[in-house]
Amino acid sequence: MLPVSAPDYVQPVVAWRCWAAAWVDGELRLCSPVYETVWPVRNKVQAECRASTKRWLSRQPPPAHTAPSDGCRCGIYGVDDPSRAVSFVRGQGFVAVPGDVVETVLGKVLLWGSVVECDHGWRAQCAYPAALYLSARGPYRTFGLRPPEGHDRRAALEGVAGHLRSYGVPVHLFADDSLAAVAAALTP
């Protein structure tokens, strides 16, 4: 009889993360705040190891492997707490995002496939958003900017939410809270 391996998790792991909502090829898309990864609409995002692009001191790239790998930091990240997800993107310049960033988006994410447990979350092979949360004071606090004079922030937020609904998941608006306050309210 051959040995049979079972997956570590029977159902997807539900975690938290943040994205940059950016205009990419004329569409508002969720993007990784760290890598040039655009999350596809109504399709999973699949992890790829990019360690060879981040190792400046090593002359040889690491051996090829599927992501995530125990001996690497690759994979799609999700954390166990919404406040931790927000703190991760605080101060990020979003330089890797392949489009014009409009918002910082907090959300629940489903992680599956090969999943590696970490100190405060997981790294996974596959992921898709499960719910998205937008805050009226999210990007302005993040980037230290003020809304333009006469700018209707609520209408702009509703417009962003409308575009993000193309992912087929609930999009929640918090008109009077910062992203950190939203995360604190969502923390169990």
Residues 115-156 have pLDDT tens digits of 999 999 999 999 999 999 998 775 443 333 344 555 677 788
Contacts (Cβ under 8 Å, ≥6 apart) of 95: none
pLDDT top residue among 24 and 144: 24
**Once rounded to an integer, what is the mean pLDDT over residues 16-38?**
93
pLDDT top residue among 137 and 20: 20
Q: What is the pLDDT of residue 52?
A: 60
Q: What gap in Å lies between CA 186 and CA 37, rounded to an integer?
A: 26
**Once rounded to an integer, what is the mean pLDDT over residues 152-174?**
90
Q: What is the pLDDT of residue 8?
A: 60
Tell me the CA distances in angstroms from 48 to 17, 37, 136, one per residue in order. Answer: 18, 10, 33
> Which of the residue ranges 9-18, 41-50, 83-92, 127-136 would you say has the lowest mean pLDDT?
83-92
At residue 16's C-alpha, the angle toward residues 85 and 180, to 5°, is 40
Give the HSE-up count for residue 38: Cα atoms under 13 Å, Cβ half-sphere: 15
- Domain boundaries along the sequence of the chain: 13-186
Q: What is the pLDDT of residue 150?
A: 54
| Of the candidates 102, 93, 76, the residue with the CA atom closest to the CA atom of residue 17 | 76
Answer for the pair 31, 97: CB distance below 8 angstroms, yes or no: yes
**Over the stretch 52-110, which tens digit does the pLDDT of each residue have?**
655 445 556 666 788 998 888 899 999 999 999 998 887 667 878 888 888 899 999 99
Answer for the pair 39, 45: CB distance below 8 angstroms, yes or no: yes
Q: What is the pLDDT of residue 156?
A: 80
State the pLDDT confidence band at 50, using cuts at 50, 70 and 90: confident
